[in-house]
Amino acid sequence: MNKLITKFAKSEEGVTALEYGLIAGVIALAIASTVGSLGTTLKSVFAAIEAQVSTAVPATTPANTPATGTGG
């Protein structure tokens, strides 16, 4: 039993796996926070583009569109 405990105490496999797990967790956290802020930034960019396009091009209504399918 003492040999088993000594072997377990000297083993570094568990420590290495724990370190890799912590590194993966930190990387996942960094990716999640970056993607969140990037999404907010992209949303504001596309909102600005939408505002400029809607100002430059008047909205079309069914009354302003030419009739289709009335061919002759």
Euclidean distance between the first and final Cα of the chain, in Å?
Answer: 98
Rounded Cα–Cα distance for residues 27 and 4 (Å): 35
pLDDT tens column, 20-65: 899 999 999 999 988 888 888 899 999 999 999 888 877 666 665 6
Q: Residue 40: how many CA atoms within 13 Å on its side-chain side?
A: 5
Summary mean pLDDT of the chain: 80
Locate 5 and state its tokens.
Answer: 């405990």
